Amino acid sequence: MLWLKGAAAVAAVAFGVLIGYLAAERYRSRKQFFAQWQSFNERYLNELKYARRPLPQFLGEYAYGGAFQKRLAAFSARSAAPPLPFLTEDEKKQCDAYFGMLGKGDAASQSGYFAARQDTLAQKRAESEKEAKARGALYLKLGLLAGLAFVILII
């Protein structure tokens, strides 16, 4: 009987930690999105300065992951953009404006626009990394504590 209580306690704590990990997914996705967006912006600026290949060829050259890859694939296919629930409304508008400028106009005007976005993207990346680190640990600890509280109250 004691081993059954121990197994239930371990399962309850593991479930609490899992819930905490899943709750922090929003912040990890946000961190990854801004890191990939900044990386893409730097590559695109270099592309505009030197190689100047056609946009579809450039977009197919690098592989990204997660939500940014889905957003980039939707842009390439000229289809509806996937939802980005981890971004604020203002950030969604900025993202739409950014992708709306890709491939529009001459290289000089695009270089100016995307260079101006560079500092903003670096700042968003740093903020999202800091937030993901703080909130990720917080949610894991809260999940652990919730699991332990369940064990204390129920078992």
Could you report the per-residue pLDDT of 106-117, keeping only the tens digit for each? 888 888 999 999
Task: Give the pTM.
Answer: 0.87
| Residues 6 or more apart whose Cβ sits within 8 Å of residue 35 | 125, 128, 129
How many CB atoms sit inside 10 A of residue 60's CB? 11
Angle, vertex CA 98, rays to CA 27 and CA 91, nearest 5: 35
Per the rule left: phi > 0, alpha: psi between -120 and 50, beta: everything else, 87 is beta
Instruction: Determine the pLDDT at residue 54.
Output: 84
How many CB atoms sit inside 10 A of residue 140's CB? 18
